[in-house]
Structure 1
Amino acid sequence: MNTIQRFALSAVAAAMLLGLGACAGMSHQDKSTAIGAGAGAVGGAILTGGSTAGTVGGAVVGGVIGHEVGKR
């Protein structure tokens, strides 16, 4: 594995750890919103063949659904 690949792998691992640490103080509803937005973005990208509008639209719809589902 060359130096650039090692650096990229380390950067991705560090970003993932920091991203998970940012979720520590989130409420249940905030976590549901984030999960819904992520799932919606993936679904929108798959359904539209990777278009930007489909990904963003899916993230918005998924975030709204996650927000509503996360209410107690």
Structure 2
Amino acid sequence: MEQLRQIVGALQIADVAAQVALNLRTDFADFHDFKPGDHQHKTLTTALDQLVTWSTALDTLRPASSSAAA
């Protein structure tokens, strides 16, 4: 994964560094029902914060859509 991030960075593609790693044994009850650990909330919040930061920063580079111009 880290090698891919280096390649993406070299291509100047925005990436989100934080990641939420789920474990089938610890984050799913009976390997079926999703029961994430308490630590996952903080990790997910960090990842989403980074995503919002990038999307806000890149918003100025997006062309205006025809509906926004009207």
For this structure pair, what is the TM-score category when the shorter chain's length is used for normalisation? 0.3 to 0.5
**Larger strand fraction of residues:** 2
Calculate the TM-score normalised by the size of structure 1.
Answer: 0.38
Q: Greater helix percent: which structure?
A: 1
Query: TM-score normalised to the size of structure 2?
Result: 0.39
